[in-house]
Amino acid sequence: MNTAQSDAASSDFLPADVKQSVVSQLLPKGQIGISRLKTLRRNMGRTAPYELEDADLIVLQLHAFSEQDLWLDGRPAPFVPYNAGTVTVHDLDPNWLADLKGSFDCIHFHLPRQTLEESVDDIGGRRRPQLYLPPHLSVTDPVVHHLGQALLPALARPDNAS
């Protein structure tokens, strides 16, 4: 595992009481950061700024989450309440800001686009794949939800994970 990562990869821009992160090397040049963020407290406040980058942040809700205000490049962004198992994708090229009002428990998958493109190339796929699933178009995916739950022990004890 590699510990050098951006704020978005470690989800340091998001206030939480529990932060558990690992960075996994997928390819010689690519890595994916995985972070669990959890708080039982309400009104954690606004997320901090992060460095804009050519990457996506895939968010899996482990528990229902329904209270936040969301902005994209300074403008209000649509938001719908999330059930457990809801998946969204945040493009990290623009600036997302959230005011977190409710408690939450989620997993962030930080995926640089270069890593995604190299992975697609390795399997013989087309160039320039694009992920698109913004917060207001989120979907509930029980398979991804269960896969995310299977990662929890590795996130709790990253020194024992590979």
- Whole-number Å distance between alpha carbons of 63 and 85: 7
pTM of the model: 0.81
DSSP codes of every residue in the chain = ------HHHHTTTS--SEEEEEEEE-SSS-EEEEEEEEES-S--EEPPP----SEEEEEEESS-B--EEEEETTEE-----B-TTEEEEEESSS-EEEEE-S-EEEEEEEEEHHHHHHHHHHTT--SS------GGG-EE-HHHHHHHHHHHHHHH-GGG--
More confident residue, 11 or 76: 76
Which domains are assigned to the chain?
7-157 (2.60.120.10)
| Residue range 113-157, pLDDT digits in tens | 877 667 666 666 666 667 777 788 888 999 999 999 999 998 998
Give me the mean pLDDT over the 78-89 stretch.
91
pLDDT for 10 beyond 80: no
| Residue range 25-72, pLDDT digits in tens | 665 556 788 999 999 999 999 998 888 888 889 999 999 998 999 999
More confident residue, 103 or 30: 103
